[in-house]
Amino acid sequence: MQRLGTVAGLLTLWVGLVLGGMAQLEGRDNDTHGRGATPDYARVFAQDTVERLDIRVTAADWDRLVADMAGMAGPRGSAGVGAGGGRGGGFNIVVGPEALAACSGRVEGDPCAVGTPAESGRCTQLPMGVGLACTPLPGGFPGGNVPPDGGGNQVIIINPPGGNPGGGNLPGGNIGRDDVEFLPRTPIYIPATVGFDGETFNNIGLRLKGNSSLLNSWRTGTDKLPFRLNADGLEDEIPDSRDQTFFGFPNLNLTNNSQDASFLRAKVVADIFREADVPSARTAFVRVFMDRGQGAQYIGLYTLVEIPDEPMLRAQFGSDTGNLYKPNGTGARFTTFMADSFPKKTNQRDEDWTDVQDVIAVLNESRANPAVWRARLEARFAVSSFLRWLALNTIVGNTDTYGGFSPHNYWMYGSPRHRDRLFFIPWDHDLAMNGGGPGGTPGTGLDLFHDRINASWPLIRYLLDDPVYRAAYRGYLEEFLGSVFEPSRLSSRLQAEHARIAPYVVGAEGERPGATFVGSPTEFNQALTSLVTYVQSRVATVRQTLGTTR
């Protein structure tokens, strides 16, 4: 009888815990926290104010996050330690004038040589607006032939921690690969309490996010690291967070603008793409305060970025049931199908890539009958949307995207409301407005119609080789010069955004030492001036080139 009583007591306890957990879930405000919450764009992505976002984590959980990252990238604050290929090391490449000169007038992939004695390499598009530079073949460019850091040479980390098994300092390791992921895996999630606009969200999954922005921020030792928030990312460990959202949004990015002293590129470029009828994420500025067990501290002004999840897909495509991909690697060039290059973000259990395979097959088939080829391609791929992106991206000038540094930083969505055609979704614009990327690199002139891009980028090369698509592309260029990229309109927008965020960057409530990438108010203001000047000169260059190119 005593044993039965014990069992009954345990059963009662278990039922109580289950019902208590259900009650806690049901007690959550489903209008703000639940899976069925209507995404509150006006509240989360406010455009006329800079809202405050509070993050609280325990000291023990923060230590776990730091230890996890240190295991992949070395100690925090280890900037300048980067030579060698050991775990957490990575490589530094020093790009001097001779490496840039060796690729002057060439195109990506051309052979080149640099050093004394001369070492063979290939011309590679480098990030951060550097342009084409001669980078080594596997095993090449031993330390003696790389100029030392100094004399104005620019140091760029372009290899992943953990070493380069193929030798050489090409992005991602071996020549012939397009993998530019600098970390061997995704950082871990830890639980966080997030406060925003009077609401509190418990057990939100928080992790570090990003690629070069994360690695470079980590190595500076800054408190202003880039983060991702996943509202129910810890539901396996913490059942109470199951099906939680943040005002209807499952995932959000907090971008730290580590490579943009103006803070404006990530937000403004995403905005003008969307206004140009190109699918693009919503963004907003937020002030982020973090408490890691010692009280809340301001860690800086961030750009809050929507991730192409259900809310964005429903809002911009009318349905969220299609296949969403985040392409990367060689297959993401669209020359040949590689399943590993198209990881699914929806419908993961359905191992069917027919939509991508069909686009790649049709894109690369014979174009002897252009009308037939166009009809077959348009049945599978949203060609006009892509050409609109390509035209505006060319005017904007972006290094780190399809056709530029590497085939990454974009998404693809097969929209059921559009007969499952694939749409191109641009992503990550903090390196935009630098004159690089598809359309020309610094020092090589504006390649407005991408004549220097070869068939290794078939979505650009084959479409612009077609006279019908080339004419449509020209029309989009002319349209955007008079609308979203019209100089006075865009300059006014940049100035207004700058004025709105200035108090939280360099003003009385501005960023503090150890949690900023801006050296002074002068640097912040000069960054705006440079952007406005860029817009004006870029439009003049595009107009001039349009008048002389057919």
Q: What pLDDT score does 138 carry?
A: 41
Q: Which band of pLDDT confidence, cut at 50, 70 and 90, is reported for residue 528?
A: very high
Name residue 298's beta-bridge partners: 289
The top-scoring range by mean pLDDT among 14-23, 132-141, 452-461 is 452-461
Whether residue 22 has pLDDT greater than 50: no
What's the pLDDT score for residue 106?
67
Judge whether residue 291 has pLDDT over 60. Answer: yes
Confidence of residue 115 (pLDDT cuts 50, 70, 90): confident
CA 201 to chain centre: 26
Task: Check residue 114 and give its pLDDT.
Answer: 81
Q: Which of 17-26, 86-95, 302-311, 418-427 has the lowest mean pLDDT?
A: 86-95
* DSSP run (H or E) holding 51: strand 51-56
Kindly report the average pLDDT of the chain as a whole number. 84
User: Would you say residue 543 has pLDDT above 90?
Assistant: yes
Split at pLDDT 50, 70, 90, the class of 134 is confident
Average pLDDT over residues 252-266: 95
Average pLDDT of the residues in 111-116: 80
The mean pLDDT of 272-294, rounded to a whole number, is 97
Region of residue 365 (phi > 0: left; psi between -120 and 50: alpha; otherwise: beta): beta
More confident residue, 444 or 347: 347
Alpha helices in 159-255 (DSSP H): 212-220
| Percent of the residues in the chain that have a pLDDT greater than 70, as a whole number | 78
Q: Is the predicted pLDDT of residue 274 greater than 90, yes or no? A: yes
33 pLDDT more than 50: yes
Instruction: Reply yes or no on whether the pLDDT at 187 is more than 60.
Output: yes
Q: Decide if pLDDT at 388 tops 60.
A: yes
What value does the mean pLDDT take over residues 461-481? 98
**pLDDT computed for residue 15 by the predictor:** 46
What letter represents residue 229's amino acid? L
Instruction: Please give the pLDDT value at position 102.
Output: 85
| pLDDT band with cut points at 50, 70 and 90 for residue 213 | confident
Least confident of 9-18, 107-116, 351-360: 9-18
Residue 79, pLDDT score: 62
Tell me how far apart the alpha carbons of residues 117 and 182 are, in angstroms, rounded to a whole number: 31
Return the residue matching tokens 């078939």: 458
Phi, psi of 170 (to 5 degrees): -80, 155
- The average pLDDT across 252-275 equals 96
Of the candidates 471, 466, 405, the one whose C-alpha atom is nearest the C-alpha of residue 438 is 405
Is the pLDDT score of 94 beyond 80?
A: no
Kindly give, in sequence order, each residue whose CB lies less than 8 Å from that of residue 162, ignoring residues fewer than 6 positions away. 72, 85, 87, 88, 89, 184
How far, in Å, CA of 338 to CA of 353, rounded? 10
Q: Is the pLDDT score of 266 beyond 70?
A: yes
Give residue 12's pLDDT. 52
What is the structure's pLDDT at 4? 47
Question: Which one has a higher pLDDT value, 19 or 132?
Answer: 132
Q: Is it the case that residue 256 has pLDDT exceeding 80?
A: yes
Tokens describing residue 473:
């592309």
Residue 380 has pLDDT above 70, yes or no: yes
Q: Which of 106-110, 248-252, 288-292, 451-455 is predicted least confidently?
A: 106-110
Interval 155-175: pLDDT, tens:
343 333 333 322 222 333 333
Q: What is the mean pLDDT of residues 27-52?
A: 92
Indicate whether 494 pLDDT > 80: yes
Among 174, 107, 106, 163, which Cα is nearest to 136's?
A: 174
- Pairing type for strands 283-291 and 51-56 reads parallel
Is the preceding omega at residue 187 within 30 degrees of 0, hence cis? no
User: Average pLDDT for residues 442-461, to the nearest whole number?
Assistant: 85
**CA gap 471, 453 in Å, rounded:** 18
pLDDT tens-digit map of 41-93: 999 999 999 999 999 999 999 999 999 999 998 999 876 333 222 223 333 44
> What DSSP string describes 352-416?
--HHHHHHHHHHTS--SSHHHHHHHHHTTB-HHHHHHHHHHHHHH-BSSSTTTTSS-SEEEEEEG
Residue 526 has pLDDT above 50, yes or no: yes
Q: How sure is the predictor about 152, in pLDDT bands with cuts at 50, 70 and 90?
A: very low
Contact 260, 268 (CB under 8 A): no
Dump the DSSP string for 132-187. Answer: EEEEEPTT-S-GGGSPPS-TTPEEE--S-TT--TT-S-BTTBSTT------SSSPP
Q: In this predicted structure, what is the pLDDT of residue 233?
A: 95
Name, in order, each residue with C-beta under 8 angstroms of 177's C-beta and a sequence gap of 6 or more.
170, 329, 330
- pLDDT at 507 > cutoff 60: yes
Confidence of residue 475 (pLDDT cuts 50, 70, 90): very high
Spatial strand order of the sheet with 111-114 comes to 111-114, 119-126, 131-136
CA distance 514 to 221: 8
- Predicted pLDDT of residue 8: 55
